[in-house]
């Protein structure tokens, strides 16, 4: 077995190699410092961790299953595929692992007002859910364009007691909703906690959100050991939007070089057309408080992303993924809208599991990944969410 690799990012300034950091208006610097301290204390405290794990068990439904996918494996070749079933979490995806952690921290810090940004509404719903559970005021910023496209999630958030504020600036999508949430935080720093939905944003968000999702990889280790006698698979595969479900699965294995890691972005209409393949085609730049890869035009202006899956439709990516790409620790590739639709059908008809369109990118990438794994090798795919929310899109394209 090869020696383990030293990997200790981020540093004390929140840098993952050259990436990350905190590029924010000055008024937020003390807020981020307070958040850093509160998170470090909470994460070192057994009381906080017990509370967090109790909610994951009794409210989210953890541990999620690790499902052996024999019929899918048979179609793909001489491999054994397992699915980590984040689709079975309450609200239908992994996102709630993070919103549970952040709302506990908000309460610990005495904050009374929760704000969040949302694109398709999945993070907005996961935030509105935990805000309802704890009886806190919740405001979700959402692009007016996205509110039209995702009317069902708007209705869900409202039913859960959240106020959804329409953002009419710029492209009226996620990027603009995030700008508006940051603006709100700047105006109300004392009572407000900003729950960010992925491993993006200024330090300490990328490391904090990673910590709240690592339960995915930790459970996978013990479940795989129980199922196969070996805690390490040959490969892990996950889709990458901001990168939170991927880092949650990867991180507990990152020091073990025999575990190959594969991140799958959205190639949309193709890498020469409209896409959301930030790591494959972006260049370093600052967005939403951190330096990372970014889709930008020749003037450095942020380009609109496109993907059939709303959760991958973001022009940025978490700074840790930028660093893991440069280190070549994770291999990133991209899957088109059409291939993703094939991934939905493949998992549905081989395993009886309808995946989210985001997840379907990871499924569709498997046919390229199996050739890079030893014969009979074990692959774990993160089944980040269920496909119910995407049925209209799927129907329109079949």
Ligand X SMILES: *Cc1c(COP(=O)(O)O)cnc(C)c1O
Residues forming contacts to ligand X in the complex (CB under 6 A) are: 93, 95, 122, 198, 239-246, 311-312, 356, 358-359, 384-385
C-alpha distance from residue 180 to each of 94, 199, 266, 382 (Å): 25, 19, 25, 31
Pairing relation of β-strands 113-118 and 137-143? parallel
Based on CB atoms, which residue is closest to ligand X, 15 or 321? 321
Sheet of 330-336, strands arranged across = 66-68, 79-85, 377-383, 235-239, 260-268, 330-336
- Look up tokens 């990027």; give the residue: 175
Based on CB atoms, which residue is closest to ligand X, 260 or 278? 278
Based on CB atoms, which residue is closest to ligand X, 350 or 359? 359
Look up residue 371 and give its DSSP letter.
G
Least Å from the CB of residue 6 to ligand X: 26
Handedness of CA 330, 336, 339, 343 (dihedral sign): positive
Based on CB atoms, which residue is closest to ligand X, 63 or 316? 316
Least Å from the CB of residue 93 to ligand X: 4
Based on CB atoms, which residue is closest to ligand X, 101 or 385? 385
Least Å from the CB of residue 116 to ligand X: 13
Based on CB atoms, which residue is closest to ligand X, 80 or 381? 381
Residues 6+ apart with CB under 8 A from 98: 126, 195, 197, 209, 212, 213, 244
Least Å from the CB of residue 214 to ligand X: 13
Least Å from the CB of residue 317 to ligand X: 8
Q: Which residue is nearest to ligand X (CB)?
A: 385
Q: Residue 88 and residue 354: Cα distance in Å, rounded?
A: 11
Q: Residue 345 and residue 364: Cα distance in Å, rounded?
A: 10
Query: Where does residue 377 rank: exposed (0-12), middle (13-18), buried (19+ CB within 10 A)?
Result: middle
Query: Where does residue 193 fall: left (phi above 0), alpha (psi -120 to 50 degrees), or beta otherwise?
Result: beta
Least Å from the CB of residue 392 to ligand X: 16
Least Å from the CB of residue 398 to ligand X: 20
CA atoms within 13 A on the CB side of 156: 19
- The set of catalytic residues is 95, 117, 384
Residues 6+ apart with CB under 8 A from 233: 82, 220, 224, 253, 259, 377, 378, 379, 380
Contact criterion met (CB below 8 Å) for 324 and 354? no
Least Å from the CB of residue 10 to ligand X: 17
Based on CB atoms, which residue is closest to ligand X, 95 or 275? 95
Q: Residue 338 and residue 364: Cα distance in Å, rounded?
A: 10
Contact criterion met (CB below 8 Å) for 338 and 358? no
Helix, strand or coil, per DSSP, at residue 306:
coil
Based on CB atoms, which residue is closest to ligand X, 122 or 129? 122
Q: Among 117, 248, 250, which Cα is nearest to 173's?
A: 117
Q: Among 243, 245, 244, 315, which Cα is nearest to 281's?
A: 315
């Amino acid at each position: 077995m090869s020696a383990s690799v030293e990997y200790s990012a981020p540093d004390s300034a929140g840098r993952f190699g050259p990436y990350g950091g905190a590029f924010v208006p000055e008024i937020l610097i003390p807020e981020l410092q307070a958040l850093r301290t509160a998170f470090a204390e909470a994460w070192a405290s057994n009381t906080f961790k017990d509370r967090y794990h109790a909610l994951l068990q009794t409210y989210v439904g953890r541990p999620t299953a690790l499902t052996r996918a024999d019929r899918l494996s048979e179609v793909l070749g001489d491999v054994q595929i397992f699915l980590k079933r984040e689709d079975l979490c309450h609200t239908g995806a992994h996102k709630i692992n993070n919103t549970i952690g952040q709302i506990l921290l908000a309460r610990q810090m005495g904050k009374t007002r929760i704000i969040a940004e949302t694109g398709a509404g999945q993070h907005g719903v996961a935030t509105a859910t935990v805000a309802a559970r704890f009886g806190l005021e919740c405001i979700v910023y959402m692009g007016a364009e996205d509110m039209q496209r995702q009317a069902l999630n708007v209705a869900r958030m409202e039913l859960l007691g959240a106020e959804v504020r329409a953002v009419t600036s710029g492209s009226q999508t996620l990027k603009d909703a995030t700008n508006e949430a940051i603006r709100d935080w700047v105006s109300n720093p004392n009572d407000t906690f900003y729950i960010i939905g992925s491993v993006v944003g200024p330090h300490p968000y990328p490391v904090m959100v990673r910590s709240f999702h690592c339960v995915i990889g930790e459970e996978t280790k013990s479940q795989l050991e129980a199922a196969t006698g070996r805690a390490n698979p040959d490969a892990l595969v996950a889709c990458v939007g901001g990168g939170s479900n991927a880092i949650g699965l990867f991180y507990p294995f990152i020091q073990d070089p025999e575990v190959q890691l594969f991140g799958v972005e959205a190639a949309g209409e193709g890498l020469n057309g409209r896409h959301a393949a930030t790591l494959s085609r972006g260049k370093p730049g600052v967005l939403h408080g951190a330096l990372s890869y970014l889709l930008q035009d020749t003037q450095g202006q942020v380009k609109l992303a496109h993907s059939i899956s709303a959760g991958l439709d973001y022009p940025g990516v978490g700074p840790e993924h930028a660093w893991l790409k440069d280190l070549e620790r994770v291999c990133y590739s991209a899957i088109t809208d059409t291939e993703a639709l094939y991934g939905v059908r493949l998992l549905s008809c081989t395993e009886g599991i309808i995946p989210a369109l985001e997840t379907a990118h990871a499924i569709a990438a498997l046919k390229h990944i199996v050739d890079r794994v030893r014969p009979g090798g074990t692959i774990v795919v993160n089944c980040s969410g269920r496909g119910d929310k995407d049925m209209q899109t799927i129907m329109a394209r079949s």
